[in-house]
Amino acid sequence: MIKSLIGCCALLLLALLIGCQSAKGPAYAQEPFAVAKPKNPNNALVYIYRTEQAYRAKSRSWPAVFLNEQPLGALKYNRYLVAEVPPGDYILAATGFSKASHGWDFADKEAKFKLQAGHVRFFELTAKFDPSSNTMLGGRMKFLVYLTPVASEDAKYAMYELHRAD
């Protein structure tokens, strides 16, 4: 009985060692999001994205997004929008006051910026629980909403699992 137990242990150890030897590198390696260049080199690109957040905060509601009052579309959860535009001054706005939005009841968020030819700008829209509203007698938790400029190096990793909005 002891011989068969030792034999089984030796066989398991051998299988484990063979399995470890055959593994080469991480089992999951995904390339970061590929940042596009403007099709016209005299233009610039603007990306706005909304990643997965803790507790899927406001995942069933979304704002409509406008660039200089021109609609880009609805920014749903785990999605991004992109626009190719000429150089100039811009205002990016996320609002619930549009037919394209759904259940988005926050104050409009805006970002003002300037674009030059060939540049690519990124903005992240986030809706997070407000930790100060987490009180026992406070009722429903409230949310904080941000529209934040993001560096290209950070954005490409945040966006690699996102899908382009319809």
Report pTM: 0.75
Our count of domains for the chain comes to: 1
Task: Let me know if residue 103 belongs to a domain.
Answer: yes
Buried b (16+ CB within 10 A) or exposed e, 9-39: eeeeeeeeeeeeeeeeeeeeeeeebeeeebe
**3-39 tens-digit pLDDT:** 665 655 555 555 555 555 544 544 445 555 677 889 9
User: Domain containing 154: what range?
Assistant: 44-164
Task: Let me know if residue 97 belongs to a domain.
Answer: yes
Helix (H, G, I), strand (E, B) or coil at 104: coil
Place 112 in a pLDDT band, splitting at 50, 70 and 90: very high
